[in-house]
């Protein structure tokens, strides 16, 4: 049987064949209803060369070694070293919403495998999940179950992957895979700073605005594995799934294991096409619905202003100053609870420090309300300090093997969230803290990797820990309607679609240096939309890098996400407060565009220039951002060609942050530099582009693009 799944811009054609899961015959542009699908099967029939098995190796959705596949299998199981061979046969195929469910059985191994595929009709994003059930009396150990194995054309020999470290997350790299396997793993108990669970595949390093690309992401917040393989018979496969530690998943009779969800997308219009599809899907199906009930408020976060020094007078001054700058939400960061004067103690107790706040948060909450600011609070519920009352009373509540001393991170242990007593304790403490103090926002942090991640039974527990985290977040959100949560993990240590089902914001990185943020924000934007990307204006000298940058560069970089400020705003250099205030107002004028628009990164032809447009759904309004990162060999950059506008519409273009231009950098400025506006047809902006002024390194130009009303052009409406 051959089946098809079709969306507005793409189509999958699948065949039921030997092995576990269907075989992918086509994934790309829609072929049309009149196409005979049997012709596709005939065109894809593979020859059988000498020197191989007497069958064509079945590269199915879950390829099996037991069925003759000699590449990396999609399933690896055993029972005490036995029953490691599987040969699934299709038992039933069912229609589900926008997709198909395939049920397979292996009678000898007494296993059932379910493959669920759905193609979202609006965005074109494919979701894939696999589940395995044990029907035998003997337990089954699961070593690996891919969320799907995607067979891609052999010509797709380039893959973009995403590595990094703390304060330099999400660094995109292209690899040319001519043979063998490219593989990436996270064993940190979270997605980690080093291994974002995403990959792009193309036949050459893809451009932003053109070319055929496949994009993939694993929605899972624990350990993961990605592999991209060139098989011995010339095919390529992409696998993603949960990396399971030894003995982590052992299924008794009647028990099941489900993989995380693999999300995939095909684009014929370059990386921007992948980004647009992922953004659309995330906005419709992933992010909490309450996110769009109000504009994203401007944040002020206290961390880089006061650190652990919670002086009442100082906080009063910061609150009043933040309100003057246009801030709408005040987030009190680390240091507010008992025993917390540095990062060595206090985590887990979650009691307001009586010395710093003698009357609790009553005065602070009242002052925030008087200044029109929402109350946000930093917490790190998954952790416990060695120096804390909670740890002294309940050392058995931490993940670890009691007889072994495990390495600590930030002087803290990880609480076993799968322990019902732990989950109940955290639920009660956090809900009481939120409801008693009028807190509308939690910055939920997680500041260490997991080592010795064993639960009470002494067995590996990352899988259970991750699922327990989801349950705890779901319970807290249900008990506190309207509460918003920011997902932070030492910055970008835990970013994925599944955690974002429960959060309204991502803290992308602890680094707010705008120069470092540019590359991070580019890679982030391939997967998630700007309205949930936390981006702050920091101090002139960045806390994490020591780099000095101009205030307009910091502001322009921060205002194209969910804008905030994280600096000592009481002691800003002369003139900076006025600039920040102006950019906060600009952000408020454009934040509806951040929350609904489509983001197009532009192909500038230069590594030194990073540019993108944010285009409204009706294409009548856009914001163009152009950043020169470094000096280049060319004195003048080529015109920037805009994507996403209406070819037949006339637009007015004007520069809105003229302070980013340095006087005297050019002898003959272009019209935009002297305050003039440009008016032209959309097709010219796309095909010819805009010649921009000379821009110094580490500076961003912001241009407003507005559609002209028919009367503005002097031409009658057709």
Would you say residue 185 lies in a domain? yes
Write down which residue in 539, 567, 597 finishes a domain.
Answer: 597
716 pLDDT more than 70? no
Stronger pLDDT, 232 or 187, i.e. the higher one: 187
- In this structure, what token pair is assigned to residue 647? 């070819």
User: Based on the domain organization, do 346 and 253 belong to the same domain?
Assistant: no
Task: Specify whether 606 is located in the same domain as 593.
Answer: no
Q: Which of 240, 266, 286 is the last residue of a domain?
A: 286
Best-predicted range by mean pLDDT among 237-241, 629-633, 666-670?
237-241
Q: How far apart are CA 217 and CA 345, in angstroms?
A: 37
Q: Residue 524 phi/psi, 5° resolution?
A: -55, -40
Tokens of 619: 């294409």
User: Which DSSP helix (H) or strand (E) runs through 152?
Assistant: strand 148-152
pLDDT band at 415 (very low <50, low <70, confident <90, very high): very high
Inside any domain, residue 718? no
Asked if residue 103 is part of any domain, the answer here is yes
At 664, is the pLDDT very low, low, confident or very high (cuts 50, 70, 90)? low
Instruction: State whether 351 and 430 are in the same domain.
Output: yes
CATH number, domain of 569, equals 3.20.20.70
pLDDT tens for residues 468-520? 999 999 999 999 999 999 999 999 999 999 999 999 999 999 999 999 999 99
Q: How far is CA 518 from the centre of its chain?
A: 15
Which range of residues forms the domain containing residue 638? 602-713
- What pLDDT score was predicted for residue 672? 84
DSSP structure class, residue 145: E
> Which of the two residues, 619 and 664, has the higher pLDDT score?
619
The pLDDT value recorded for residue 718 is: 30
At residue 636 the predicted structure's pLDDT band, cuts being 50, 70 and 90, is confident
pLDDT at 711: 57
Give how far the C-alpha of residue 280 lies from the chain's centroid of Cα atoms, to the nearest Å: 13
pLDDT confidence of residue 658: 87
CA distances in angstroms from 355 to 330, 340, 391, 437, listed in the order given: 21, 11, 22, 18
- % pLDDT > 90, the chain: 87
Our count of domains for the chain comes to 3
At residue 676, does pLDDT exceed 60? yes
The per-residue pLDDT of the chain, averaged, comes to: 95
In tens, the pLDDT along 150-204 reads: 999 999 999 999 999 999 999 999 999 999 999 999 999 999 999 999 999 999 9
Cα 281 to Cα 167: distance, rounded to the nearest angstrom? 28
Q: How far apart are CA 214 and CA 269, in angstroms?
A: 11
**Rounded to 5°, angle at Cα 582 from 581 and 585:** 90
Same domain, 555 and 659: no
In a domain, 291, yes or no: no
Ramachandran region of residue 591, left (φ > 0), alpha (ψ -120 to 50) or beta? alpha
3-state secondary structure of 178: coil
Tell me the C-alpha distance between 156 and 144, whole Å.
25
Asked if pLDDT for residue 715 goes beyond 50, the answer is: no
- One domain for residues 194 and 57: yes
* Residue where one domain finishes, among candidates 542, 562, 597: 597
- Does position 712 have pLDDT exceeding 70, yes or no? no
Q: Check whether residue 486 and residue 418 sit in a common domain.
A: yes
Extended beta strands in 231-283, E state: 236-242, 250-251, 256-258, 261-267
**Whole-angstrom Cα distance, residue 652 to residue 441?**
39
Mean pLDDT of 629-655: 92
Work out the average pLDDT over 280-298. Answer: 96
Residues 326 and 239 in one domain: no
Residue 386, pLDDT above cutoff 80: yes
pLDDT for residue 54 is more than 90: no
Residue 582 lies in a domain: yes
pLDDT of residue 714: 44
- The predicted structure's pLDDT at residue 246: 96
Asked if 552 and 659 sit in the same domain, the reply is no
CATH no. for residue 173?
2.70.98.60
Verify that 536 and 617 share a domain, yes or no.
no
pLDDT digits (tens, 9 = 90+) for 87-119: 999 999 999 999 999 999 999 999 999 999 999
* Percent of the chain's residues with pLDDT above 70: 98
Q: Is residue 331 part of a domain?
A: yes
* Mean pLDDT, rounded, for 354-363: 96
Mean pLDDT calculated for residue range 275-289: 97
pLDDT of residue 223: 98
With a cut of 90, say whether residue 674 has pLDDT above it. no
CB atoms within 10 A of CB 319: 21
CA geometry: angle 214, 72, 190, nearest 5 deg: 65
Please check whether residues 345 and 479 belong to one and the same domain: yes
**Residue 93 Cα distances to 33, 150, 258, 414, 652, angstroms:** 22, 19, 18, 43, 54
The whole-number average pLDDT for the span 596-611 is 94
Distance of CA 110 to the CA centre of its chain: 38
Contacts of residue 111, Cβ cutoff 8 Å, sequence gap at least 6: 77, 86, 88, 105, 132, 133, 134, 135, 136, 140
Instruction: Tell me, yes or no, whether 685 and 572 share the same domain.
Output: no
Pick the residue with more confidence: 692 or 137?
137
As given in the structure block, the two tokens for residue 250 are 């052992």
- How far apart are the two ends of the chain, measured CA to CA in Å? 51
Q: Is residue 556 part of a domain?
A: yes
The CATH number assigned to the domain holding 627 equals 2.60.40.1180
Same domain, residue pair 205 and 302: no
Catalogue the active-site residues: 445, 510
């Amino acid at each position: 049987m051959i089946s098809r799944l079709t969306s507005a811009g793409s189509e999958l054609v699948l065949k039921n064949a030997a092995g576990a899961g269907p075989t992918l015959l086509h994934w790309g542009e829609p072929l049309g209803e009149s196409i005979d699908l049997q012709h596709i099967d005939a065109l894809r029939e593979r020859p059988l060369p000498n020197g191989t098995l007497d069958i064509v190796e079945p590269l199915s959705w879950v390829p099996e070694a037991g069925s003759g596949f000699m590449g990396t299998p999609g399933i690896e199981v055993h029972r005490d070293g036995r029953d490691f061979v599987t040969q699934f046969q299709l038992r039933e195929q069912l229609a589900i919403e926008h997709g198909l469910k395939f049920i397979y059985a292996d009678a000898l191994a007494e296993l059932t495998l379910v493959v669920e595929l759905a193609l979202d009709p609006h965005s074109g994003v494919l979701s894939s999940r696999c589940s395995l059930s044990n029907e035998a009396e003997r337990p089954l150990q699961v070593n690996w179950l891919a969320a799907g194995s995607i067979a891609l054309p052999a010509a797709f020999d380039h893959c973009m992957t995403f590595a990094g470290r703390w304060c330099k997350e999400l660094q995109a790299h292209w690899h040319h895979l001519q043979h063998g396997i490219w593989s990436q793993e996270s064993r940190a108990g979270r997605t980690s700073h080093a291994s974002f669970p995403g990959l792009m595949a193309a036949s050459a390093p893809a451009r932003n605005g053109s070319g055929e690309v496949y994009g993939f992401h694993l929605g899972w917040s624990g350990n993961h594995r990605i592999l991209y393989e060139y098989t011995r018979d010339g095919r390529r496969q992409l696998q993603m799934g949960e990396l399971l530690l030894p003995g982590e998943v052992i299924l008794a009779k009647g028990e099941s294991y489900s993989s995380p969800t693999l999300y995939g997308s095909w684009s014929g219009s370059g990386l921007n096409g992948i980004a647009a599809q992922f953004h659309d899907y995330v906005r419709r199906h992933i992010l909490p619905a309450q996110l769009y009930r109000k504009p994203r408020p401007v944040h002020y976060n206290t961390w880089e202003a006061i650190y652990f020094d919670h002086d009442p007078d100082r906080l009063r001054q910061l609150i009043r100053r933040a309100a003057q700058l246009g801030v709408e939400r005040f987030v009190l960061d680390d240091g507010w609870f008992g025993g917390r004067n540095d990062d060595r103690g206090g985590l887990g107790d979650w009691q307001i420090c009586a010395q710093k706040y003698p009357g609790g948060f009553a005065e602070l909450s009242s002052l925030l309300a008087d200044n029109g600011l929402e109350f946000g609070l930093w917490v790190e519920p998954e952790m416990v300090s060695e120096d804390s009352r909670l740890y002294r009373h309940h050392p058995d509540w931490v993940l670890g093997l009691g007889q072994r001393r495990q390495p600590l991170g930030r002087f803290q242990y990880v609480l076993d969230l799968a322990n019902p007593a732990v989950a109940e304790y955290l639920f009660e403490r956090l809900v009481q803290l939120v409801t008693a103090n009028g807190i509308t926002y939690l910055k939920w942090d997680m500041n260490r990797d997991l080592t010795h991640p064993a639960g009470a039974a002494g067995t590996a527990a990352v899988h259970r820990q991750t699922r327990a985290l989801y349950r705890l977040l779901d319970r807290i959100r249900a008990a506190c309607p309207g509460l918003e949560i920011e997902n932070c993990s030492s910055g970008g240590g835990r970013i994925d679609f599944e955690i974002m089902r429960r959060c309204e914001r991502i803290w992308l990185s602890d680094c707010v240096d705008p120069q470092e943020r540019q590359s991070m924000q580019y890679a982030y934007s391939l997967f998630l939309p700007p309205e949930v990307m936390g981006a702050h204006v920091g101090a002139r000298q960045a806390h994490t890098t020591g780099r000095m940058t101009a205030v307009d560069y910091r502001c322009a970089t921060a205002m194209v996400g969910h804008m905030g400020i994280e600096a000592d705003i009481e002691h800003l250099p002369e003139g900076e407060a006025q600039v920040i205030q102006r950019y906060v107002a600009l952000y408020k004028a454009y934040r509806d565009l951040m929350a609904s628009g489509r983001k197009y990164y532009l192909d500038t032809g230069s590594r030194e220039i990073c540019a993108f447009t944010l285009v409204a759904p009706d294409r009548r309004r856009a914001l163009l951002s152009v950043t020169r990162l470094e000096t280049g060999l060319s004195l003048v950059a080529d015109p920037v060609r805009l994507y996403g506008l209406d070819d037949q519409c006339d637009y007015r273009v004007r520069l809105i942050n003229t302070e980013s231009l340095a006087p005297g950098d050019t002898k003959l400025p272009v019209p935009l530099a002297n305050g003039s506006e440009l008016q032209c047809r959309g097709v010219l902006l796309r095909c010819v582009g805009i010649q921009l002024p000379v821009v110094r390194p580490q500076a961003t130009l912001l241009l407003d693009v507005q559609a002209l009303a028919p009367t503005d052009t002097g031409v009658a409406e057709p």
